[in-house]
Structure 1
Amino acid sequence: MTHLPPFALDHWLSAYDFATPPIAYNLASSTGPRWSVADLCALGDAPLAIDDAVLSYAPPQGSPALRHAIAAFHGVDADSVIATTGSSEALSILFCLGARPGANIVLPDPGYPAYAAVAQAWGLSPRFYRLERADGFAQRADAILAQVDADTSLVILNTPHNPTGTVMPRDEIAVLAAALATRGVPLLVDEVYHPLYFTAPQPSAAGIPNVIVTSDLSKALSLPGLRTGWLIDADVDRRARMIDARSYFTISSSPLLERLATHALTHSDAILDRLRAVAQANIAMLDALVAGSNGRLDWVRPDGGTTAFPWLADGRDSRPFCQALAAQGVLLAPGDCFGHPAHMRLGFAQQAEGFDVAAGRIAAALAAL
């Protein structure tokens, strides 16, 4: 039986965010501000009606309406789109199809912890390219290619990156994808935080040769409860295998959730406008927090996405610090959940109100170190 390691990040989040009462200020979350079903349905000129949705199966590749909405969001043809149950299922599909004896997968470090755990469950050995603090956590093509060998089945690039917020520009992605193509290795670009950028906006990597894109509604689009994700791939044969895999894994999405997801994507501008307003206001408060910490807290300011990865400048383990803040109602994610104990993941896009209170409590805790 396959052994999955404890999911330390989810254990930490669940212990506090689903507690009674829940945490007051959740700065550990990587999502945007929350939406109710009523708020979502009210977007647009005419409210969305869902009471006539038939609770049957949907097509395994997703309904035509949903796939066209996803395609419009990324600027691609709808034929290249496959709906999935969140990006988590998308990853499992790709890892399953890429598994073979002795194969490996190349991943960022730090990075989303589920990459390595789920890849190993499918028999893929993780190889890591390091995002160096001294280099601003930049994702470099040369560092990625240095980890690729004859047994590499897939390379993952996450941009904007979780947890650091760094961004690889589209032209650099294209160069990397072309170099990998000469080795017969596809590049998966995880775009769940696209299109939230604080520097120059970047187009989606969808449509670049040798690139598969995955994304979902959970992060930049702030709707994790819809459990809707997707894969975008120009390779017809590989898409057919993905659809077969999805048919085995989950059969299809819920038609009800697909209708809500289609409506959300159709009105994504309104959702993203709210996200940007919250993120821009809160990241300005983070600028002030770091600047006023008297050198106790340092960071690389995110170029995009909803998370930052600051660290305690004296190098101490951040978990006791995060535990003390949680007792005061402020939740951060300790860096040991990402294999970097001095760091913390700090999400700044979900907390639409009270971020100033949370930042004040963090400042007071830093001053007491």
Structure 2
Amino acid sequence: MLRPSRTTGHLLALLALLTAVPAHADEAEDLPTSPATAVPAGASSTAPASAAPAGQAISPGRRALAAAGAVIPGLLVHGSGHLLAGEGRTGLSLMALGGAGTGLVVGGLGGAAVSGASRRVIAPIVLTTVTGAGLFGISLLADLYGVLAPEGGTGSPPPALPWVETQLGVAYVHDPTFAYRSFLVPGMDLRSRSLRLSGSGWFALNDDNARLRAETAYRFLGPGTPDGPRAADGSFLEIEAALTHHRYTSDGFSITTGEVSVQGRLDLAHIGPTLRGSFAEMGWGIGIEAYRNGRRPLEGNELLIPHFAFGMYLGHEGYPRGEAKAFYEHRHDGYAAGAKITGLGSGVAGHIGLQGRLDASPRWGLLADVRAGSAYVGRLSLLMRPGGSP
């Protein structure tokens, strides 16, 4: 059995990565100026937001060289692209993040080998390994973004979040193990300052299968509703509790999961000006699953749910605007579940995916994502904000 108390100190140590940088407006003077607010000394305040430079301009030839360097040797030595572009401080920071990620992965895998992946120590081993992989992947993608993004970045975060947002979508799941394929996916988010209540459901249209989920979250730092404190950027830190019930009625079993997690986002402009418009996310959590299979006794299991993502904002002001991100989810209890690969590692890793949202107007938007694990999942949802975006 996993012991959550043994992981508490580990989680708090990892959270320092996201809490080291303030995210409230009263601390904004310590942060890089965002494109939406940058006004050069002596210039008119009506200057376009996109005119704010992300750093010293470089020639097209040097930019192409930096982009190539971000791939070779940048795949192994992260930050190489920025070093070739003359952004030494940012390059060295990305190199340090990549090195730290490599060290955590090696340490985690080494701990698993030495301990025989004992259940007594598997929780910190998994959290360490996934966090290391996250730092490695984020620093790699950040190096590529920084040398390819336009001056001022690809976009800026919205100033606040809507009080109410609903979604109605369709999804397709290709899983050779189960009969379901098509789903109807409704959902709703209700926010009040730093508090969020959410509910969603996946209802199969060609099978008796449904997944219901309720969440509540409290945001310590970062954007909230317009009546809350103003945030300096899109960085946030929050704690979330959730309850999920998944009925496989036609297959004769069900799974109920209770979980708690801590997750955050850091706008990467805090690392260097060339990274404006990009962000990184990390989260760590634990859940308890209860299986019911016909008339058999209830069975329990522990679930570790770390995840990480790299993304970018799309659009600085007005509409359309949105964001896109690539992510890794370690959890195995959803439709994508864990990755099936050859060898001893099959079923250990989670799944990967891409997600994007586009707000076409203050009231309407689209959400799309694709995931690949032991199954392939695609979803497209229509977003509606009854009161409009702030």
Normalising by the smaller structure, the TM-score range is under 0.3
Higher RCO (CA 8 Å, separation ≥ 6 residues)? 1
Q: Which has the higher strand share?
A: 2
Which has the larger Rg? 2
Q: Which has the higher helix share?
A: 1
Question: With structure 1 as the length reference, what TM-score do the two structures score?
Answer: 0.28
